[in-house]
Structure 1
Amino acid sequence: MALYTKESLDLLRERIDLREVLSSHIDLKRAGASYKALCPFHEEKTPSFVMQSGDTHYHCFGCGAHGDAIAFLMNHQKMTFVDAVDSLGERFGVVLKKEEGSGEPRGASRILLKEALELATRLYHTLLLHTKEGHVALEYLYRRGIDLDFIRAFRLGYAPSMPGTLLKLAKGEGITEEVLLSSGLISERRRDFFSERITFPVTDPFGAVIAFSARKIREETFGGKYINTPETPLFKKSHTLFGLSHSRSTIAKERKALIVEGQIDALRLIHNGINFTVAAQGTAFGDGHVKLLTDLGVSRVLLATDGDKAGKSAAVKIGHLFQKKGIDVSIVPIPKGSDPDSLIQRQGKEAFLALIDKAEEYLPFLVRYHSENLDPSVPAQKNELINVLSKQIRSWEEPVMIHESLRKIAQLTSVPESVVGVGATPQPAFLKRFGRVDKQEVDPDRILETDLLRWLILQGEERLGKIVELNVAPDLFRHPICKRIFECLSNEEGPSDLIALGSVLEKEDEQKLLSEIVQKKVNIDKAEEGLVEVIHRLLIRKWMEEREAIKAKIQSGTCSDEEVLRLAKAFDEIKKSQPTVVMP
């Protein structure tokens, strides 16, 4: 079942202007009937990234990057397929309607929810700057060292005390109460959710407002000091990082991230040009937050938690989540009683950057943290300290990380490596079907089959499609998701391009594989040669499997003499008929 209706996708396909999409991210320059740019996927000094005028695909003749608007957003902006389609729908004004029974929750569309939240952002920002009530909130912000540039940069606002202000404006804009309720802007009793609070817009990784965090400035205001939008179809606290839209490009480029505890901390650092900073959104840092950063390719994380006991505890917990994934963690030494916001206000950006340069590795920090309660000079307590440290490290996922960290712990605590268990868990002496390269499983069947699918998805020539039709059937596939994608592409009424294909593939593992397929570089000048080669390898694989299956049956000792003769004859016939690729 497709996620979106065919009519929605057809309209989106018709409206997408690839040049407009690319121009938002790279410097395209006209060159005759084409546009050229420095390729964003590899370093170069002479432009080799080309898009023909009016075409729906780009190609880099330097590194082989090739694809359409969806592929570009997935590769360059690290979007999922659904995020890429939603982003294009918003850009080109297409409301993407869900198919009946698609498994998506019924209710207002994501685009309508974002429109309501954007309207609220503009309203609250205006009320903060231009009303008497808002000026009281402004004075509070000024006292906190938040100036007008800061307020405008991050679109801070103020939700008024007068009931129904947002509801009245929304109705005038054609936005229904259902949409306001679904977006978390009003309560079940139709009251403004953030009334009498300073509002901080929460954005998705691409800049669209999806929620608010709000702070009261009067004690008599009902509720806690801070409140957040309740979870909605757009907003999940466990999968939202505050500040990511401002820091995403730098994080992806430099493969490092700075994590702080507070939202003001994050905004203050970003405003001062330290734009690789994020914070968790109203909840403890968890695996969902880790995934957001690992998906951007982060290999180093800096933790700048508050300089108190709770801040140290948070650093231990957050650092553990990243270290267990094999990601290097360092702790920025925030002075006791300080936080990143107050530190920058008192001492400036340079002082904070100097602390980053002094960041301590996670393991020495971990040893010092636990040594505050377990005295290493007391044998029994040192024994417990070693057990606590080694147990945590052994829960990590990467074997090399575990081995080297245990060795480091032995060094830091002055005990023999054997005491912490270095070498106690030998690695397997052999590999079977799967290997590991760069922390990822290597499945030869998957690699071969995704190579075929890549040509099938990216090819635009009728001849290439005909070659596939003459030679490839579903039984050539061993990987179930690859087989499903092929069957979708082969169906006469199935998807005709990446937009439609991604809509049919609903499951997360299917979307992930599709993303991998479109990310690999291709040489379009050798498309037919590449396609024929991979088809031949698939045919040979099947041919060899059939031979081996017959041989195994003959050698099983369960066949009669007649059956053995029949199988031997079949084996000889298969052996003589090595497959070749049929050409149109």
Structure 2
Amino acid sequence: MATRINEEDIALVRERARIDEIIGAYVQLRNAGGGSLKGLCPFHDEKTPSFQVTPSRGFYYCFGCGEGGDVITFLEKIDNLSFTEAVQTLADKTGVQLRISDDGRPAAQPGLRQRVLAANQAAAEFYQAQITTPEAVIFRQFVDGRGFDRQAAEHFGMGYAPKDGRALHHHLNRAGFSDEELVKAGLIRESGWDYFQGRVLWPIRDSAKSVLGFGARRVFDDDRMPAKYINTPETVCYKKSHVLYGLDLARQPIGKKSQAVVVEGYTDVMACHLSGIDTAVASCGTAFGADHARMLQRLMGNNDAFNGEIVFTFDGDAAGQAAALKVFNLDRAFVSQTYVAVEPNGLDPCDLRLQSGEPAVRELVGRRVPLYRFVMRNVVKQYDLDRVDGRVQAVRAAAPLVSSVRDASLVRGYLHDLSQLVGMDVEEVRRIVSQQSRRAMPTTQVPPMRTVRPSEDHDEGPTLDGLSLPWPDPFDRNIVVERDTLKLMLQHPVLFDTAWNGVSADDFTHPAYRAIFEVIAQTPYQPQGWAEQLQEATGDDVARQLEVALLVEGVHHDPDEAYASAYTAKLQLLSTMRRLTELKSRLQRINPVDNPSAHKQAFSELIVLETTRRTLEQISSGAD
């Protein structure tokens, strides 16, 4: 049966959940002035931050894709939660006890995500407690053999799954978790056996330190599972393409240093962190992909001139080269520069630390080379460069690498590097690359964004598919006063009288602005939850989205009642000027001889409007 959460509890969750802290766990936020924060949008790819958070009003909005809302909306979208699950998640974080009632309608099991997270946390504690048991001697041998001590193992939350295939199952049953919950958490199988048996484990946490799942390594020769490493199956919490091991420890350093080091295994992450490379992470049970790239890019944010760097560690063998080429194909997903760090002896960071010490790990990352150069060298060395045709073939094979470079200003340097690698004149290399690029030029179709797309003529700004109201251009000087007036009304409603200083819907020319004002005028102001009431009262999705944008946009001054009065006068002055223009046009068309009464009435209206204009001009001067 479906559940309904008490409205007062939902309001309390919104009040207690600090939107900057919640969003800050996913996005690197920086001060944008005026009490606002900015960062790279987590809902679409972008190079320049257009995602804005206004903690004082509890809203976020992206001026690039149009996504916006409050802290509950954000959690729904970013973690793919239902409204109820998002509220429950925030309630757990803020200590709010929810009152939930049955509304009599069927629905999915509520709170499953939180129960899975709770079961995972209990499992992590159980596994970690096993590392001192007699059976876990093989765990201790494994840890010691990799150069780690007990303190390191505990710091990274390592654990051991007993060979008794039902130990975790029984432990969690006694802790109050049902079999159904444990199956859905990926902790036990349908048959009742523990998912992990006789293995060394690492908890995989998100940036907020919640345990999403586990990675497990085989340590017994008679292990019935053939794979060396296995991971938690896909659950409501664990999506292997959306998680990175070590992110709970590396999130803040990644944002602070604008650097991420991507390694290939759990012990490599441990070795890097213990060696001072605290930005190291690893993919879990799958190759590094586009979702991982976007996740790291959001955490690094954008530092204007310096967009950060992502360093990949690969083996020098064929598998490492193939992995490097795959990452290179993802290169357009990065704003940051991409590098490769390869140990000449083929050692991974864990073995390198064990053999040569922690300084060698730091040196490995310090010797990084641009990803394009690493890939280019591996492409070129496949050809016989002692032959003329071999050199030409090598340039042709490397041409797509040069053509795919994001920054056109770097192409010249890449051409120079390629010419040195093959031993040809740089102009000849340029000519071959240009010819090859024209022949192989792809025709890429980019699908439109689901929410907001820029209009081609830029006359109306973004529009939304399938919705009634057009999206106003925020830079349209003809309607900027309408926009700024609404911002004042939404953000500082107490500066206006109950009649909104005499403003009417006719003062707005853009239909979206008019729609928002009509909602404002019809919604009685209340000190608590007024913005939420406006959102609920707004029937059009465009207007609702626009409200959020106006709630987070900065205002030009520190407003007071006099400023608000002056600004509404400015809006009414523009409206009065339009009426004057229309009236003068009508007067010119009225013949005073043929229709003296109509002419007299129109002339009287003209006098009244001129008087109103002069008054409004005087009042509105305070808004400049």
C-alpha separation in 1, matches of 2:497 and 2:192? 58
Establish whether residue 144 from structure 1 lines up as the match of residue 132 from structure 2.
no
CA separation of 1:455/1:244 partners in 2, compared to 1, >3 Å: closer, same or farther?
farther
User: 2 CA distance for matches of 1:102 and 1:392?
Assistant: 56
Larger radius of gyration: 2
Write out per-residue CA displacement over residues 208-251 of structure 1, whole angstroms, 9 at most, x where no aligned residue: 10111111211222221111111111111111121111111121
Q: Are the counterparts in 2 of residues 112 and 179 from structure 1 also a CA contact under 8 Å? A: yes
Q: What is the SS of the residue equivalent to 1:212?
A: strand
The match for 1:361 among 370, 376, 390 is 370
Aligned length: 503
| Cα deviation code 1:380-439 (max 9, x no counterpart) | 44444334433345456x5xx1x23432332122332344339989xxxxx952999xxx
1:254 is aligned to 2:279: no
1:310 aligns with 2:319: yes
Q: What is the distance in 2 between the residues matched to 1:185 and 1:283?
A: 19
Is 1:239 aligned to residue 252 of structure 2? no
Equivalent residue letter for 1:433: H
Q: Return the letter of the residue paired with 2:121.
A: E
* Offset, 1:290: 1.1
Range with bigger deviation, 298-307 or 334-343? 298-307
Distance in 1 separating the partners of 2:183 and 2:150:
31
Structure 2: which 5+ residue stretches go unaligned? 37-51, 61-67, 79-85, 420-425, 442-455, 462-470, 586-601
Question: Which of 412, 417, 429 is 1:412 aligned to?
Answer: 417
Q: 1:341 aligns with which of 350, 368, 372?
A: 350
The alpha-carbon deviation at position 357 of structure 1 amounts to 2.6
2: CA distance between counterparts of 1:239 and 1:520? 31
| Matching of residue 433 in structure 1 with residue 433 in structure 2 | no
Cα contact 1:472–1:535 (8 A) shared by 2? no
Corresponding residue SS for 1:227: strand
- For 1:466 and 1:218, how far apart are their aligned partners in 2? 77
Distance between the aligned counterparts of 1:347 and 1:511, measured in 2? Answer: 60
Residue type matched to 2:136 in 1?
A: G
Provide, for residues 115-154 of structure 1, a one-character-per-residue CA deviation record: whole Å limited to 9, x for no partner: 111110111100122x222233222222222211111111
* Cα deviation 1:320-378 (Å, max 9, x = unaligned): 42345442112223223201111122222322222333221223222212112134454
Q: SS at 1:329's partner residue? A: strand
Candidates 120, 123, 129, aligned match of 1:120: 123
Among 181, 185, 188, the residue aligned to 1:186: 188
Task: Report the TM-score when normalising by structure 2.
Answer: 0.64
Q: Give 2:348's aligned amino acid.
A: D
Residues 70 and 499 of structure 1 are in contact (CA less than 8 Å); yes or no, is this contact kept in structure 2?
no
Residues of 2 paired with 1:291 and 1:197: CA distance?
A: 32
- 494-503 or 362-371, which deviates more: 494-503
Task: Answer whether contact 2:275 2:361 (CA < 8 A) is retained.
Answer: no
Q: Deviations over 1:250-298 (max 9, x none)?
A: 2112222111121221122123332111111211111111111121216
Aligned residue in 1 for 2:434: 421
The range that moved more, 535-544 or 141-150, is 535-544
Q: How does 1:358-507 map to 2 (within 5 A)?
A: 358-395=367-404, 398=406, 401=407, 403-414=408-419, 415-416=426-427, 417-421=430-434, 432-433=457-458, 445-446=473-474, 458-459=491-492, 461=494, 463=496, 467=500, 470=503, 492=523, 496=529
Is 1:331 the counterpart of 2:340? The answer is: yes
1:169-228 deviation digits (Å, cap 9, x = unpaired): 323332222221221111122221112211110001111101111112112222211111
Report if the CA contact (8 A) 1:476-1:539 is conserved: no
Letter in 1 for 2:197: S
Contact 1:406 1:420 (8 Å CA) reproduced: no
Kept in 1, the 8 Å contact 2:353–2:360? The answer is: yes
Name the residue aligned to 1:525: 558
Alpha-carbon distance between aligned partners in 2 of 1:189 and 1:504, rounded to the nearest angstrom: 50
Q: Report how far residue 316 of structure 1 moved.
A: 3.0
Q: Is the 8 A contact 2:485 2:571 kept in 1?
A: no
Q: What secondary structure is seen at the aligned counterpart in 2 of 1:250?
A: helix
Q: 2:276 aligns to what? A: 273
Distance 1:10 1:485 in 2: 23
In structure 2, distance between residues paired with 1:411 and 1:542: 65
The change in CA–CA distance for 1:163 and 1:419 in structure 2 (over 3 A counts) is closer
Give the aligned partner of residue 175 of structure 2: 173
Say yes or no: does 1:10 pair with 2:23: no
SS in structure 2 of the partner of residue 421 of structure 1: helix
Residues in 2 aligned to 1:156 and 1:65: alpha-carbon distance in whole angstroms = 36
Residue 286 (1) aligns with residue 289 (2): yes
Q: Give the 3-state SS of the residue equivalent to 2:559 in structure 1.
A: helix
* Bigger shift: residues 112-121 or 258-267: 258-267
Q: In the alignment, is the contact (CA less than 8 A) between 1:81 and 1:515 conserved in 2?
A: no
1:181–1:467 distance in 2 versus 1, CA, 3 Å:
farther
Distance 1:238 1:334 in 2: 27
* 335-344 vs 384-393, which moves further: 384-393
User: CA-to-partner distance for each residue in 1:479-502, whole Å, 9 max, x for gaps?
Assistant: 8xx999999988859993678999
C-alpha spacing 1:20/1:390, structure 2 compared with 1 (3 Å): closer
Which stretch of the first structure deviates more once superposed, 356-365 or 459-468? 459-468
- 1:3 and 1:102 in contact (8 A); partners too: no
Could you say if the C-alpha distance between residues 319 and 100 of structure 1 is closer, same or farther in structure 2, counting changes exceeding 3 Å?
A: farther
Residue 88 to residue 390, structure 1, CA distance change in 2 (3 Å) = same
Distance in 1, matches of 2:575 and 2:256, equals 40
* Alpha-carbon offset, residue 457 of structure 1: 6.0
Q: Distance in 2 between matches of 1:532 and 1:323?
A: 49
Contact 2:18 2:58 in 1 (8 A): no
Report SS of the residue matched to 2:202: strand
Cα separation, 1, equivalents of 2:376 and 2:507: 55
Residue-by-residue CA offset, 1:25-56 (whole Å, 9 max, x unaligned):
9xxxxxxxxxxxxxx95599xxx999xxxxxx
Equivalence map 1:210-229=2 (5 Å): 210-223=212-225, 224-229=227-232
Contact 1:456 1:465 in 2 (8 A): no
Rounded Cα–Cα distance in structure 1 between residues aligned with 2:404 and 2:294: 18
TM-score (norm 1): 0.68
Structure 2 vs 1, CA of residues 339 and 516 (structure 1 numbering), >3 Å: closer, same or farther? farther
Mean Cα deviation higher: 79-88 or 263-272: 79-88
